[in-house]
A and B are shown apart, each in its own frame.
Chain A
């Protein structure tokens, strides 16, 4: 998956979570104004929280890439010139030592 898309997905997860915080605060305020007793958070907010957790974790996991740890997987892709090449040799050739 593209990294930018994964980043956007994780931001959407955080925004959904912030919406749950705001709505739970609003629920508390509504109960206080109508003189009702608080009996836990409503089910739709709980559902929204769990959904936001899944969306955020999906985005974060996809935004990272792992690299293979075997030495042979890196060295087999390199050319011989990269090992023998050094900048001093090119300088010597240019200046005509």
Chain B
């Protein structure tokens, strides 16, 4: 039989080991997460507007334009990741890899709008 003090000591040691394994959980500020995602979507919308107008000037039709959209999107992501460095990116986002596909659908609309606008200006010019 163990003495009750010894049992307590063993329990304390076990608890310490568990806490050292798990560690204190990280707390994130929801306000700053929202601010960071807002910054990314702001940059992405501006760049997709310019990319769409370039697609219109160059006169891309149907699927070529969407391929150009992917090119524009990934140039932005590459510049963003190179600027912030990949190891540092986990400081600003919970899931840093989500940049590669997160705003892909939402910024397609301004792209198509400006694509059709500049295509009509230059290629339907009479």
Which A residues lie at the B interface, using CB under 8 A?
Answer: 13-14, 17, 20-21, 24-25, 28, 40-41, 45-46, 49-50, 52-54, 56-58, 60-62, 64-74
Contacts and interface: CB of A to CB of B under 8 A. Distances in A.
Contacts, number: 95
Given A66-B36, A70-B26, A46 B58 contact: yes
Interface of B is mostly: helix
B79 interface: yes
B47 A56 contact: yes
Interface in B29-74: 29, 32-33, 35-36, 39, 42-43, 46-47, 50-51, 53-54, 57-59, 72
Interface residues of B, number: 35
Contacts of B79: 57-58, 61
